[in-house]
Amino acid sequence: MTERTPDFETLAIHAGAAPDPATGARSVPIYQTTAYVFDDADHAASLFNLQQLGFIYTRLNNPTVAALEERLATLEGGVGATCTSSGHAAQILALFPLMYPGNEVVASTKLYGGSINQLSHAIRKFGWSTVFADPSDTDNFKRAITENSRALFIEALANPGGAVVDVEKVAKIADDYNLPLIVDNTLATPYLLRPIDYGAHIVLHSTTKFLQGQGSSLGGVIIDSGKFDWMKHADKYPSLAKPAPEYHGLVFAETFGELSYTFYGHAVSLRDFGAAQAPMNAWLTIQGVETLPLRMEKHCSNAQKVAEWLEKHPAVSWVSYAGLASSDYYDLAKKYLPKGAGSVFTFGVKGGYEAGIKLVENVELFSHVANLGDIRSLIIHPSSTTHRQLDEEAQKAAGAGPDVVRLSIGLESAEDLIADLSQALDKAASS
């Protein structure tokens, strides 16, 4: 039989998993344990010295979590992964090996409001800072880079407005300036887009969203392409390319090669911050990933129908969905998202802030929650919730102005979703 690479649908079910060797269990078991018995003192020492692979403590690694890590790394085309307790934890732990006090991140302005807040304020407590660049002109990233820059950070398909960023162009800039490109791929998922194929070095997800898919469990993941040469830029990245005192002078980049960033994520970042993903959450996410291709097809087809209907509604002033020919991102979506433009998008309701609030208060089938990527359809008014920490100018820059309503289209009947929005828009307009 001719050797072939399994398709995405097959890998979503089988990557990182095999029948349990102890019991023959076909589904990945939930290893609900904190610790693992050592064979003897030498075995324990070799594990703690990173001389041998194995399990020590679930804060560092766990067999259920490891199965999810291998599956997600495979689906994204990476070499390794580090699962975390949430998407926000993944962002901090992704930056931790790269940064020292005085260093900067160059980040897109088209980000989730919580990410903008984290990058604007929280990271300053580490002595890090962020310079924001509008990704509509990728040269803005060049203009923002300084000698203190240590990474570029973008969302490939941005939350909340569904802006599509030209990943390949930003990756070229990252290469030109010898910086790793970190891409949050939560909204697209690897089924619609694999940023590593376009030059990204590190990919992040809030696994809470589409990967898990049922709104039941928090998690995040950091996926490493293995393609950034840390040793070549040792002075910029001493955590990875210079002796680590806590491991007797071990140099991660020399010892672990293309897996050095992933090993550091487990051996240092998870060890010291403790933001590990729970085994039960990892197991629930594995179940979700197995149906990811089917769900994403339905998510996208439903979103296309709802967006097209909204675009014609008299109470709607605009719709920002990259699957519409009217979108500024339509051509980029054709390149990067040929299977569909995702299911999260925004629209402007006539009447502004008050009308937006009235709309979310009158839906019946949509759930008014601060989440996305669920099988259920969700709605939120970002300027009064997820982006309320930002001033109005920053809200508008992030695509979350006062008239903006964000939808996360689920797997219900598209006709039922349209009917619900229709009655809610009528009530919002009449008020």
Task: Parse the chain into domains and list their residue ranges.
Answer: 8-288, 294-430
The whole-chain average pLDDT of the chain stands at 95
Contacts of 126 (CB under 8 A, 6+ apart): 99, 101
Long-range Cβ contacts of 50-59 (<8 Å, 24+ apart): 50/247, 50/250, 50/255, 50/263, 50/267, 58/31, 58/33, 58/34, 58/276, 58/279, 59/270, 59/271, 59/274, 59/276
Please state, for a pLDDT cut of 90, what percent of the chain lies above it.
88
Give domain 294-430's CATH superfamily.
Answer: Aspartate Aminotransferase, domain 1 (3.90.1150.10)
Instruction: Please tell me the predicted confidence (pLDDT) of residue 1.
Output: 42
- If we measure between CA atoms, which residue out of 81, 151, 93 comes closest to residue 126? 93
Helix-helix angle 414-430:352-362, to 10 degrees: 130
Tens digit of each residue's pLDDT (9 = 90 or more) over 37-73 = 999 999 999 999 999 999 999 999 999 999 999 999 9
Given the structure tokens 């393609």, which residue do they identify?
227
Q: Is the pTM of this model over 0.85?
A: yes
Over residues 365-394, the mean pLDDT reads 87
Contacts of 201 (CB under 8 A, 6+ apart): 171, 174, 180, 181, 182, 224, 225, 227, 228
Residues in the chain, overall count: 431
Contacts of 337 (CB under 8 A, 6+ apart): 157, 164, 188, 192, 193, 322
Of the pLDDT bands very low, low, confident and very high (cuts 50, 70, 90), residue 390 is: confident
Indicate whether 426 pLDDT > 80.
yes
Choose the weakest-confidence range: 308-317, 319-328, 391-400.
391-400
Indicate whether 10 pLDDT > 60.
yes
Write down the CATH number for the domain with range 8-288: 3.40.640.10
Backbone angles phi, psi at 218, to 5 degrees: -80, 150
Tens digit of each residue's pLDDT (9 = 90 or more) over 82-131 = 999 999 999 999 999 999 999 999 999 999 888 999 999 999 999 999 99
| Tokens describing residue 396 | 């508008």
